Amino acid sequence: MSPQKVRLVTNLVRGRAVPEALVMLRFLPKAAARPVEKAIRSAVANAEDTYGLSAEDLYVASITADEGPTLKRGQPGPRGRFKPILKRSTHITVMLGEK
């Protein structure tokens, strides 16, 4: 999924409380909402396990969607030509803060 599509979702949840962000992502009709929700859940699990924090006390301090490696694929075009297709990937980085 392209970083441009993921950034539309990350901009909605930045600065929100974790429970509120997860509910928002659950009902958001965008395909990018699922990977972002998964990344936030992973960050919350790490915070709970490593630092003993509660999910209710956390908020999304920073979330970025940076460009990952691009797979270059192609599709045959008319007159023996080759039409390039770029399969873009995204690195999602989540930083949580305590209220």
Q: What are the structural domains, with CATH classification, of the chain?
A: 3-98 (3.90.470.10)
Q: Indicate the average pLDDT of the chain.
A: 97
Three-class secondary structure of residue 83 per DSSP: strand
Looking at the predicted structure, is the pLDDT value of residue 99 above 90?
no
| Phi-psi category of residue 40: left, alpha or beta, with phi > 0 → left and psi -120 to 50 → alpha | alpha
Calculate mean pLDDT across residues 29-45: 97
Contacts of 21 (CB under 8 A, 6+ apart): 13, 40, 60
Is 0.85 surpassed by the pTM of this model?
Answer: yes
pLDDT at 41 over 90: yes
Q: Which two tokens stand for residue 91?
A: 């690195």
